[in-house]
Every structure is written in structure tokens, then in C-alpha cells.
């Protein structure tokens, strides 16, 4: 089994982004330096800006660059095996209002939650190998969290694909992370509150292993 490390080289310079030097791959135990660059010349100038995004999202065998903003019409997906980056369009929304787009790894898929209100989202999933998006039932938690005054729920990560989603509770006017989190079954609408001891620190969902788990 090979382990590969993906690194983004990006300088906010027009001359830099049109060159074939934005992304490099390092195979652990094989490569000695970062000289193996990934071809990015086919990426549009608009989508090229996604290379500044942090953190990178990973699904099984793929790395994704995304932006939580409806003004960005693409995601960039790297097939780690073939070392090819593809520019995929994302679902668009009607109207001129800018919406928050939340991209989250979901097993072998990349999920997208488009915020329609503080407590409801459109729900999409993308196949990383084809870029095909599938619309899933909306997630509507308005009734369950109507008592959470002056707060919003920010999607943080999936505990169980398409079923159990973790949210961070944030003050509506400040959008700062809090200690309060909620694990919610989006099918049954049942939820559990818990706190993370970290003050105003941001928490990122991650895997405690370099080896992918089977299943989704």
C-alpha cells in the first residue's frame, strides 16, 4: 500500500496561477522531494482560486478543494491514484442571494449542504470519480431547534453517512465557534447535545488513521 501526501503551492499572483506548479504529490518511502507536480493548466482561472482553500477535504481515494460560498461554481477533485485533477460544477441555487455552501466528506462521497435558513439545508452528494451530483431529501430541523434563539447550526461532519450529522452551535451575529455541539439523526430528528472543551477554538472532523475504513 502506498501513502501519498498532497501539497498545494499557491501564491496570490496572476503569473503564478497560470503555471503548472500549484499542486505536488509526495509518495512516502519513494520520493525524495516535491518535484512531482500535478498538471493544473486545464483548470480555469476562476476555479484556480480554490487552491487557497483550507482545510482540504478527503474522500476514499480523492482530495477536494472547495469554498463555502455560493459564488464559487466549481469544486476541484484530485484522483490520488491517477494524480489527475478535475474541475466539477456544483449545484446552483435560484435567486441572487448568496448562500453558505458546506462541503463535508461522507464515506466515499462528497456531500454538500446548502443553507436555506438557520436550521434547514438542501442536501446533495457527489461521486468523486464522475462529478455527478445527486439530490437527497432536504434536512429541515426548524421545529426541533426553534427554541435556539439568536443561534445558527453549522454542519461539522458526518458520524454516519446520510444519517447522523454533527453541528456546532454558533451565535448568529458573530458566527464564532462555541463549545456546544449537537449530534442529530437527520432522519428521525432525534439529537444529542455535548460540549467540546476548547473555548473559541475551531474543531475539524478527521480520521485517526492513515488507512481508510471499509464501507460508507
How is residue 130 written as a grid cell?
464522475
* pLDDT tens by residue, 99-141: 899 999 998 999 999 999 989 999 999 999 999 999 999 999 9
**For residue 52, which phi and psi values (nearest 5 degrees)?**
-85, -10
Quote the distance between the C-alpha of residue 154 and its chain's center. Answer: 12
Q: What per-residue confidence (pLDDT) applies to 20?
A: 58
Range from 134-138, 173-177, 206-210, 212-216 carrying the lowest mean pLDDT: 212-216
Distance CA 143, CA 180 (A): 19
Q: What per-residue confidence (pLDDT) applies to 138?
A: 95
Closest C-alpha to 79, from 68, 69, 91, 88: 88
Of residues 13 and 196, more confidently modeled: 196
H/E run at residue 148: none
* pLDDT tens by residue, 167-192: 988 887 766 677 888 999 999 999 99
How is residue 7 written as a grid cell?
501539497
Q: What per-residue confidence (pLDDT) applies to 17?
A: 46
Please state, as a whole number, how many other Cβ atoms lie within 10 Å of the Cβ of residue 196.
13
* pLDDT tens by residue, 10-41: 655 554 444 556 788 889 888 888 778 888 88
Amino acid at each position: 500500500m502506498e501513502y501519498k501526501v498532497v501539497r498545494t503551492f499557491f501564491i496570490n499572483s496572476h503569473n503564478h496561477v497560470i503555471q503548472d506548479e500549484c499542486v505536488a504529490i509526495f509518495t512516502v518511502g519513494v520520493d525524495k522531494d516535491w518535484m512531482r507536480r500535478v498538471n493544473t493548466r486545464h483548470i480555469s482561472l476562476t476555479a484556480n482560486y480554490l487552491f487557497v482553500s483550507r482545510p482540504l477535504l478527503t474522500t476514499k481515494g480523492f482530495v477536494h478543494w472547495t469554498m463555502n460560498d455560493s459564488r464559487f461554481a466549481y469544486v476541484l477533485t484530485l484522483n490520488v491514484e491517477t494524480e489527475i485533477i478535475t474541475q466539477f460544477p456544483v449545484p446552483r441555487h435560484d435567486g441572487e442571494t448568496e448562500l453558505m455552501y458546506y462541503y463535508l466528506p461522507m464515506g466515499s462521497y462528497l456531500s454538500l449542504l446548502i443553507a436555506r435558513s438557520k436550521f434547514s439545508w438542501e442536501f446533495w452528494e457527489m461521486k468523486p470519480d464522475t462529478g455527478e451530483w445527486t439530490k437527497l431529501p432536504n434536512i429541515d430541523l426548524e421545529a426541533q431547534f426553534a427554541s435556539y434563539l439568536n443561534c445558527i447550526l453549522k454542519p461539522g461532519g458526518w458520524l454516519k453517512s446520510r444519517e447522523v450529522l454533527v453541528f456546532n452551535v454558533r451565535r448568529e451575529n458573530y458566527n464564532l465557534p462555541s463549545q456546544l455541539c449537537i449530534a442529530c439523526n437527520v432522519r428521525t430528528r432525534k439529537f444529542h447535545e455535548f460540549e467540546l472543551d476548547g473555548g473559541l477554538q475551531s474543531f475539524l472532523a478527521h480520521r485517526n488513521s492513515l488507512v481508510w475504513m471499509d464501507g460508507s
